[in-house]
């Protein structure tokens, strides 16, 4: 059984993300040519014909943040270059800042899983946004998880965040009795997990693995755990274990 508040698709993921922006955050109007957001994994990617993207770009998603900490709005666009059959040939990330525009290959995606820009947040409190990108859809126990990676601007390139030399893979989503989420408490990155431990789904064991982030490298700090006594698997107290939930999170439209 699927948990009704879990992430079963990116459209649902966007609705579940809490975007609490402070009054001091930089703001700007949306681009004059908004992106359609109704493309599906494995579906056609019709070229968008937008001036700010290559002529054969399709299946695009974008988010706003402040990559370099200068107080102005920066925009990250994840998009595919599509062939004559309107299928992705390659995936790219395009970061537009006040200093210019940088485009680079995104090593992600397959014929059944299309990457998306998901959110931007100042995870470690250094005044600059880190960028959450969905890089893979994962199927398990009859439902879907999303694998997210985090990217940081280093000079002109977006570099993936790692742990012990390997890309840090983070999961969001779940089923009725198991959920995984991401939080950003107090300048740290937390990978959350909760699992039901009785047949009535009223007793859950939860955990949080806490990391610091310096540059592009995370360091494990501690693992905390607790037991939750809830009404059932639809209890709102479980929502954070199925979501990407960071304070001052900007997310895709």
Residue-wise pLDDT tens digits, 62-94: 999 999 999 999 999 999 999 999 999 999 999
Q: What is the pLDDT of residues 97-143, one digit of tens each?
A: 999 999 999 999 999 999 999 999 999 999 999 999 999 998 765 56
Residue 42 falls in which region: left (phi positive, over 0), alpha (psi -120 to 50) or beta: left
For residue 10, name the pLDDT band (cuts at 50, 70, 90).
very low
154, with CB counted inside 10 A (0-12, 13-18, 19+), is exposed
Cα distance between residue 172 and residue 26, in whole Å: 27
Q: What is the pLDDT of residue 150?
A: 98
Q: What is the pLDDT of residue 107?
A: 96
Residue 46 has pLDDT above 70, yes or no: yes
Closest CA to 100 of 131, 70, 57, 125: 70
For residue 16, name the pLDDT band (cuts at 50, 70, 90).
very low
β-pair partners for 197: none
Q: What is the pLDDT of residue 14?
A: 34
Provide the sign of the torsion angle of the four alpha carbons 213, 218, 222, 228, taken in this order: positive
């Amino acid at each position: 059984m699927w948990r009704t508040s879990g992430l079963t698709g990116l459209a649902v993921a966007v609705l579940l993300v809490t975007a609490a922006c402070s009054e001091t955050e930089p703001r700007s109007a949306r681009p004059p040519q908004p992106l359609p957001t109704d493309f599906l994994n494995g579906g056609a990617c019709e070229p968008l014909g937008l001036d700010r993207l290559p002529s054969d770009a399709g299946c695009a998603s974008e988010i706003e943040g402040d990559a370099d900490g200068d107080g102005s709005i920066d925009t990250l666009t994840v998009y595919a270059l599509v062939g004559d059959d309107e299928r992705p040939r390659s995936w790219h990330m395009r970061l537009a800042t006040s200093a210019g525009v940088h485009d680079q290959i995104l090593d992600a995606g397959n014929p059944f899983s299309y990457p998306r820009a998901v959110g931007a947040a100042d995870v470690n409190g250094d005044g600059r946004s880190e960028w959450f990108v969905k890089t893979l859809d994962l199927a398990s126990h009859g439902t879907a998880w999303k694998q997210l990676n985090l990217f940081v601007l280093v000079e002109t390139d977006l570099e993936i965040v790692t742990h012990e030399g390997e890309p840090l893979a983070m999961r969001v989503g779940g089923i009725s009795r198991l959920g995984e989420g991401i939080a950003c408490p107090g300048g740290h990155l937390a990978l959350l997990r909760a699992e039901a431990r009785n047949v009535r789904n009223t007793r859950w064991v939860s955990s949080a693995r806490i990391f610091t982030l310096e540059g592009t490298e995370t360091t494990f700090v501690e693992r905390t755990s607790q037991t939750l006594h809830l009404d059932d698997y639809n209890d709102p107290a479980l929502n954070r274990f199925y979501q990407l939930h960071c304070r001052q999170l900007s997310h895709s439209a």
